A = this chain, B = another copy of it.
Amino acid sequence: MEATGNGEKGLHARVLESLGPAITAGDHPPGTVLRTDELAERFDVSRTVIREAIRVLESMHLVTSRRRVGVTVRPTEEWNVYDPRVIGWRLAGRDRPRQLRSLTVLRSAVEPVAAGLAARHATPAQCAELTEHAMGMVATSRGQQLDAYLVHDMAFHRVVLTSSGNEMFARLAEVVAAVLTGRTQHHVMFTDPDPAAVTLHVQVAEAIRTGDATRAEALTREITTGAMAELDVLAP
């Protein structure tokens, strides 16, 4: 499935996939004005298609559309930085390090609290999933199996966030996944994960299973603190 990814969706989606990254990357700095007619010509589509793409960018607060003036790129501070697509575009673009740092800080705030809640709300099935993925991390933590390790790592944190029972936390799962993926990609592919971190994950799973909220929160805080420290080492 998924073909080559070059273009199986609608035209407006394709325009969006071109304009969005361009704006978030700073190719069109805040204050830049885009004319719909010009865009229609540039992308060789009708004005209708452009307008639909603009509506979406507008809903992300990336641009505003005003009569007699055109489509204006809004200042960075007004962007909807929680929109998954904006996050994705920025992670793929120029200020990826900056975005990665913001998200890691957000993680450090949210995940410990989520783990504490999970200790009180996780179902037996979720606890089983947690230990399963923690074991998977242990099993793949040595011998250049970073890809397999990453899968378990992402799944582990996803289960923690969803087990918290808070919908806002649950929706951050994909963001955390993006951060973890980004970290792995930045790593030199020959360094195995930190054994201490692996141990912490196992302990978090156990704390949640036994309903020890305080311990789950503290341990998760250690994990996220480690992630931030790691980022400081690799940071440009």
Which chain A residues have a beta carbon within 8 Å of chain B's beta carbons? 12, 48, 51-52, 55-56, 58-60, 76-77, 80-85, 102-103, 105-106, 108-110, 112-114, 117, 166-171
Contact = CB atoms under 8 A, between A and B. Distances in A.
Contact of A106 (B59, B103, B166): B166
A113 B105 contact: yes
Q: Which of A51, A77, A82: most chain B CB closer than 10 A?
A: A82
Given A82-B83, A109-B109, A77 B170 contact: yes
A168 B84 contact: no
A171 B117 CA distance: 24
The 5 closest A-B pairs by CB, nearest first: A82-B82, A109-B113, A56-B59, A52-B55, A106-B168
Contacts of A169: 105-106, 109
A167 B77 contact: yes
A3 to B, nearest CB: 16
A12 B103 contact: no
Contacts of A112: 109
Contacts of A114: 109
Contact of A102 (B12, B83, B166): B166
14 contacts: A48-B48, A52-B55, A55-B56, A59-B59, A59-B83, A76-B167, A77-B170, A81-B167, A81-B171, A102-B168, A105-B168, A106-B169, A109-B109, A109-B112
Contacts of A113: 105, 108-109
A200 to B, nearest CB: 19
Q: Which of A51, A103, A167: most chain B CB closer than 10 A?
A: A167
A77 B162 CA distance: 10
Given A51-B52, A59-B60, A105-B117, 14 more contacts: A52-B52, A52-B55, A55-B56, A59-B59, A59-B83, A59-B85, A80-B83, A80-B84, A80-B171, A82-B82, A106-B166, A108-B113, A109-B110, A109-B113
